[in-house]
């Protein structure tokens, strides 16, 4: 399995790791002097950090509630959880094989997230981000940026029709708003300024080959579909400030660290996989 696919969902949540995930934030808060007990249930303590963690995981609609009412709602929910969990233990459910398996899986998930948070936090220090920014500046130095628009459609036939309409005098931006399936469609296909490395190679090669004001004579195919591209203007590339790019840099570095952790662990592990019925996988299936 591709490590990038494996970690896509998890690293999306960890990309902005400067804000520690709620569960881990609660753990840190509970150990600190500022955390307080907000309720007890037969002597078992519920901390303010427990409530804050639960509030952070509530659906968006609960954000409209008055803060005090939301706080009390969550406290009551945690009280109920304590009571039910205690009763489950009294009945011995925590000793059943099914519950033990689920608890072990939850423990693994918490440990997985904790390790990634630690590695990403260590790897996205201010110094590391500044170094990443310096590399970006060096990469940009001396290069040109192109301002372009594009129209993305699903088939080459549609793309050729768009090109024909433009040649007859059709307005590119209006056609993009009407026909493009790309996210830039509402802006008339406007992609702003970009350097060659920002785009897929085939798209960038076609775009930078155009003269200012020129459109592609033939549709350009990428993994997203068929593009009709219009070059607008060029300028010397000027990197954005560190403050303007730090969030993006942190996200990119976080993803790379997460993927690197997984690749390293997999490389040193003996992994066996089986079919749903427990039979051995075919040789090529094992490498997926």
Boundaries of every domain in the chain: 1-18+109-141+241-288, 19-91, 144-236
pLDDT (0 to 100) of residue 18: 37
Closest to 143 measured CA to CA, from 199, 103, 62 = 199
Closest to 229 measured CA to CA, from 215, 218, 247, 240 = 215
Distance separating the N- and C-terminal Cα atoms of the chain:
5
Q: How far is residue 149 from each of residues 160, 180, 200, 232, measured CA to CA in Å?
A: 16, 11, 15, 7
CATH for 144-236, options being 1.25.40.10, 3.10.20.30, 3.10.50.40, 3.30.420.40: 3.10.50.40
Instruction: Please list the ranges in the chain whose pLDDT falls under 50.
Output: 1-7, 9-31
pLDDT (0 to 100) of residue 28: 39
Q: Is the pTM of this model over 0.75?
A: no
Closest to 54 measured CA to CA, from 37, 78, 20, 38 = 78
Q: How far apart are CA 31 and CA 22, in angstroms?
A: 14
pLDDT (0 to 100) of residue 277: 92
pLDDT (0 to 100) of residue 286: 60
pLDDT (0 to 100) of residue 288: 61
pLDDT (0 to 100) of residue 283: 65
């Amino acid at each position: 399995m591709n490590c990038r696919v494996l970690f896509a969902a998890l690293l999306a949540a960890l990309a902005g790791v400067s804000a520690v995930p709620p569960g881990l934030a609660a753990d840190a808060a509970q150990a600190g002097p500022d955390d307080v007990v907000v309720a007890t249930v037969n002597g078992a303590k519920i901390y303010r950090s427990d409530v804050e963690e639960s509030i952070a995981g509530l659906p968006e609609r609960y954000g409209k509630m008055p803060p005090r009412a939301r706080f009390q709602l969550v406290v009551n929910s945690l009280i109920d959880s304590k009571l039910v969990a205690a009763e489950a233990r009294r009945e011995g459910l925590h000793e059943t094989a099914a519950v033990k398996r689920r608890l072990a899986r939850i423990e693994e998930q918490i440990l997985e997230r904790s390790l990634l948070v630690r590695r990403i936090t260590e790897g996205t220090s201010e110094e590391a981000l500044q170094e990443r920014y310096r590399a970006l500046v060096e990469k940009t130095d001396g290069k040109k940026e192109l301002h372009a628009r594009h129209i993305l459609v699903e088939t080459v036939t549609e793309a050729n029709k768009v090109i024909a309409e433009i040649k007859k005098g059709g307005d590119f931006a209006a056609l993009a708003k009407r026909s493009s399936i790309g996210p830039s469609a509402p802006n008339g296909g406007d992609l702003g300024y970009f350097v060659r490395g920002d785009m897929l190679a085939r798209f960038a090669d076609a775009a930078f080959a155009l003269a200012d004001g020129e459109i592609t004579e033939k549709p350009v195919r990428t993994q997203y579909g068929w593009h009709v591209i219009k070059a607008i203007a060029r300028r010397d590339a000027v990197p954005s400030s560190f403050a303007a790019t730090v969030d993006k840099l942190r996200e990119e570095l976080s993803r790379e660290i997460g993927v690197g952790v997984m690749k390293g662990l997999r490389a040193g592990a003996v992994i066996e996989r089986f079919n749903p019925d427990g039979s051995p996988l075919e040789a090529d299936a094992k490498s997926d």
